[in-house]
Amino acid sequence: AEKVTSLGKDWHRPCLRCEKCNKTLTSGGHAEHDGKPYCNHPCYAALFGPKGGCLWWARGGAQGARGS
């Protein structure tokens, strides 16, 4: 299997997966929390992103903001 390096470790390419949704990730194309890989969106954003305050993204970003 092909080797990729991420988070200071070597991984088999299919083993580098999001801790929450299990999506296969690319080296350097993901977020990290406590040494574990997460896809940037939606998992990392939902688990560790800013909470409350800005409802723009929760309403669907630019699409949801139309007509507001």
Condensed to tens digits (0 to 9), the pLDDT of residues 13-67 reads: 999 999 999 999 998 889 999 999 999 989 999 999 887 555 544 555 544 444 4
Considering the domain 3-48 in this protein, what is its CATH number? Answer: 2.10.110.10
Q: Give every CB contact of residue 3 below 8 A, 6+ residues apart in sequence.
A: 10, 11, 12, 13
* Residue ranges of domains in the chain: 3-48
Q: How do beta strands 31-33 and 36-38 pair?
A: antiparallel
Three-class DSSP category at 65: helix
Instruction: Give the separation between CA 53 and CA 29, rounded to whole angstroms.
Output: 27
pLDDT at residue 65, rounded to an integer: 42
- Tokens representing 24? 């296969």
Three-class DSSP category at 10: strand
pLDDT at residue 61, rounded to an integer: 52
pLDDT at residue 24, rounded to an integer: 95
pLDDT at residue 28, rounded to an integer: 85
